Structure 1
Amino acid sequence: MEVKIGVQNAPREIVIESSQTAEEIQNAIAKALEGTEKLFTLADEHGRRVIVPADRLAYVEIGEPAVRKVGFGTL
């Protein structure tokens, strides 16, 4: 699942591919914005973690699950 994270006062967004479901990501965002968590943490497909302070989140865009295409078939 592709996730784009906008951070306040940062010139670029953070884009990662996560193996978490959209609901898991949405719950983590909700906890961070409610104030129950001070950090928004998200793991990518390779096990690396992105940690953003909750008060610095500008937006989070959750894409559709990525479908891997293999071969030279027609689109």
Structure 2
Amino acid sequence: MEIRIGITNSGRELSFESVQTAAEIEKTISDALGSEKTYFTLTDDKGRLYIVPTAGLAYVEIGTEEARRIGFVG
């Protein structure tokens, strides 16, 4: 699952692959935004932990699960 997170006042976005499902990621983010939490955490497919501040969150794009293609597309 590809995740792209935009942070306010930053020209770059945070982009990584995760083994979490789209539903798990959405629940984690919506729970943090709906409560008084100041951050939420996500883990990538290599086990790295990302701590994202809720105050600086501009957008979150959750990609679809898609098998990687090998070779040429006709």
| Residue aligning to 2:22 | 22
**Count of paired positions:** 74
Q: Measure the CA separation in 2 of the matches of 1:45 and 1:69.
A: 19
Counterparts of 1:1-75 in structure 2, within 5 Å, are 1-70=1-70, 72=71, 75=74
Contact 1:2 1:66 in 2 (8 A): no
Q: Normalising by structure 2, what TM-score?
A: 0.87
SS in 2 for 1:55: coil
Percent identity of equivalent pairs:
46
Deviation, structure 1 residue 36: 4.3
Point out where structure 2 has 5 or more consecutive residues left out of the alignment. Answer: none
Q: Normalising by structure 1, what TM-score?
A: 0.86
Point out where structure 1 has 5 or more consecutive residues left out of the alignment. Answer: none
SS in 1 for 2:55: helix
Kindly report the root-mean-square deviation, in angstroms, between the aligned alpha carbons of the 2 structures. Answer: 1.5
SS in 2 for 1:61: strand
Question: Residue 10 and residue 73 in structure 1: after superposition, are their counterparts in 2 closer, same or farther (change >3 A)?
Answer: closer
Q: Measure the CA separation in 1 of the matches of 2:73 and 2:53.
A: 43
